[in-house]
Structure 1
Amino acid sequence: MMRLKLVPETTSIPFMKFRMIAIAISAALILLSAGLFFGMGLNRGIDFEGGILIEVGTEGPADISAMRSTLGGLGLGEVALQEFGASDDVLIRIERQEGEAEAQLAAVDAVKAALEPENPGISYRRVEFVGPKVSGELVESALYAVLTAVVAMLLYIWLRFEWQFSAGAVVAIVHDVILTIGLFAITRIEFNLASVAAILTIVGYSINDTVVVYDRVRENLRKYKQMPLSELLSLSINDTLSRTVMTSVTTLLALFALFFFGGEVIRGFSAALIWGVLVGTYSSIFIAAPLLLMLGLQRGARDDEEAEEEPETV
């Protein structure tokens, strides 16, 4: 049976020749992402902003403009409506009301009283309220989660490899996280707890790709003692390219299925992961590996000691 080969078993692409172009592109994208983040900000969801979230279902296609006009006259502050999946499913976001829980419940009752006369048979599928204290704690916890993951990866790579590998891996991770945040800023995809989960997943995927390349680099450092480091890095990436491409393609197939058929609830999460797989694959090749060259990686004593400890094969 004939198998489809997306990448030949052996390739000889001179990746290191393009490293400065790739680093320049990455630097520009990082600056753009930072500008978008500080300029436009993120479209923070109710998890981080606080407020009231109501998901309603109508008997037929919802008249969003009429519902928006009705709710806009209630004096509840900012009210946002959007179709949530099907045309009869509407998500309503209302800014946090002044006062305690009673004020939030009163706002929900006012919304129900305004919508029911114009939308017979309307159903309320979900009502959520997030207060300012909870939203602040969620922001803090999300930041700690991402920072803890990055620091843990740094320590893991440092213990497994040498410090140049650790620095390169962490820079690649930070690169992927910043570009993902830039994606959220420019596309205005809602940033919520699911988005934080997506970023943590991207961190894990990126480090996995990077470790595969680094393992082959370390193996080739022992094998080719006289080969120039630039050529050795390109050789190592080519050695793992087939595995990298096949892993990325199969992951993307699953993610595209989630994006198109998984519904509106996980669409933002799926979009972030699709982007993360692409930038994670890119950074493991054009960021993590070239940084070893820029940081002056040497064939250190650790590699020689490990080579001596390995049993000879007969």
Structure 2
Amino acid sequence: MPFELIPAGTKIDFIGKRRFCALLSVGMLLVSGAAVGVKGVKLGIDFAGGTEIQIKIRDAAADEGKIRKTAVACGVAEPSVVRFGGSGDAPEFLIKFAMPDDQDLAAAVGSEACPLSGSDHRALQALQLASEGRDKTGYVRDVLRFAISNAVGPVEVQRTEFVGPRVGAELRRDGINSLLLASVAILIYIAFRFSMRFAPGAIVAVLHDVGITAGVFVML
């Protein structure tokens, strides 16, 4: 017996329910728009710029909470920590964050929750290099590696990537241009394949779904 999600012969009065569905749709769009306006859309590192560090910890008990707490103690604001890959005894984590300010680094590094690696002279010298913008990414990476090693377990840095604000702005612009070009392509295809009068409705439907989906992700 074939699987049927909707039994054959089912009749749904879409036209009769059009007013209710229209009000529901408008309501969902208003809620989504308010959520986006109040909370804002949190862009990923690829679009907003920032640093991404992949680490391996040789401790099966390591978890995202401990790593996130240690990163915050070292001056990193709102880091994203995701566990992925690795074996049970050596899990791997991906840490994403916006580069902290020099003042936040200076105030946090050296505290009990974020100890210095090496001598104070070496750490202060590294912080001076960071303030000059020459090796800030490497410095923050080393600070997190040492602090997480103390708080969680031995850390092995797999890779470090940095996306600057200018690159992030270019990616945002390219994404918007791609959306506009895709909308034009949909208009042309529907006009050619069916009728031009159906094309605007298809674009409105796409924007409707994207708007509601964006609001849901912002509220989660």
What is the TM-score of this pair, normalised by structure 1? 0.53
Report the Cα distance in structure 1 between the residues aligned to 2:134 and 2:190, rounded to whole angstroms. 47
* Equivalent position of 2:167 in the other structure: 134
Contact 1:37–1:182 (CA<8 Å) still a contact in 2? yes
Contact persistence 2:145–2:155 (CA under 8 A): no
* Distance in 1 of aligned mates of 2:53 and 2:182: 33
Question: Paired residue for 2:192, among 150, 156, 159?
Answer: 159
The 3 A distance-change label for structure 1 pair 94 and 12 is closer
Amino acid in structure 1 at the alignment position of 2:216: L
Q: For 1:137 and 1:171, how far apart are their aligned partners in 2?
A: 26
Per-residue deviation, 1:47: 0.9
8 Å contact kept, 1:55–1:125 = yes
Partner of 2:135: 102
Q: Does the CA-based 8 Å contact 2:72-2:79 persist in structure 1?
A: no
- Per the alignment, residue 74 of structure 1 pairs with 74
Looking at structure 1, the residues matched to 9 and 80 of structure 2 have their Cα atoms a distance apart, in angstroms, of 53
1:179 aligns to what?
Answer: 212
User: What is the match of residue 148 of structure 2?
Assistant: 115
SS in 2 for 1:78: coil
Which sits farther off after the overlay, 7-16 or 20-29?
Answer: 7-16
**1:14-93 to 2 correspondence within 5 Å?**
14-58=13-57, 59-62=59-62, 64-75=64-75, 77-85=76-84, 88-93=91-96
* Deviation digits for residues 67-121 of structure 1 (CA, Å, limit 9, x no counterpart): 444433434x415253424794433233225664622122112212322344443
- Name 2:123's counterpart in structure 1: none
Q: Is the 8 A contact 1:96 1:131 kept in 2?
A: no
Cα distance in 2 for partners of 1:163, 1:17 equals 26
Across the aligned residues of Structure 1 and Structure 2, the Cα RMSD in angstroms comes to 2.5
Distance 1:63 1:4 in 2: 42
Partner-residue secondary structure (3-state), 2:177: helix
User: One-letter code of the match for 2:14?
Assistant: F
Measure the CA separation in 2 of the matches of 1:104 and 1:45.
Answer: 18
Query: Letter of the aligned partner of 2:145 in structure 1?
Result: K
SS of corresponding position for 2:15: helix
- Work out whether residues 47 and 138 of structure 1, in 8 Å CA contact, stay in contact via their aligned partners in 2: yes
Distance in 1 (alpha carbons) for counterparts of 2:98 and 2:12 = 53
Deviation at residue 43 of structure 1 after TM alignment: 2.3
Distance 1:69 1:174, change over 3 A: closer
Aligned amino acid, residue 96 of structure 1: M
**Structure 1 contact 43–184 (Cα < 8 Å) conserved:** no
Q: Equivalents in 1 of 2:208, 2:166: separation in Å?
A: 31
Structure 1 residues 156, 89: CA separation in 2 closer, same or farther (over 3 Å shift)? same
SS of corresponding position for 1:10: coil
Q: Secondary structure at the match of 2:161?
A: strand
Percentage of identical aligned residues: 30
Q: Unmatched 5+ residue regions in structure 2?
A: 102-131
Return the alpha-carbon distance in structure 2 between the equivalents of residues 143 and 74 of structure 1: 35
8 A contact 2:52–2:96 mirrored in 1: yes
Whether the 8 Å CA contact 1:53–1:128 is kept in 2: the answer is yes
Task: Please tell me whether the aligned partners of residues 57 and 124 of structure 1 are also in contact (alpha carbons under 8 angstroms).
Answer: yes
Richer in strand (by share): 2
SS at match of 2:16: helix
Q: Which has the higher helix share?
A: 1
CA distance, structure 2, for counterparts of residue 57 and residue 64 of structure 1: 12
1:12 counterpart = 2:45: no
Tell me the number of residue pairs that the alignment of Structure 1 and Structure 2 aligns.
185
Aligned partners of 2:71 and 2:79 also within 8 Å: no
CA contact (8 A) 1:62 1:89 kept: no
Quote how far apart the aligned CAs of 1:125 are.
3.4
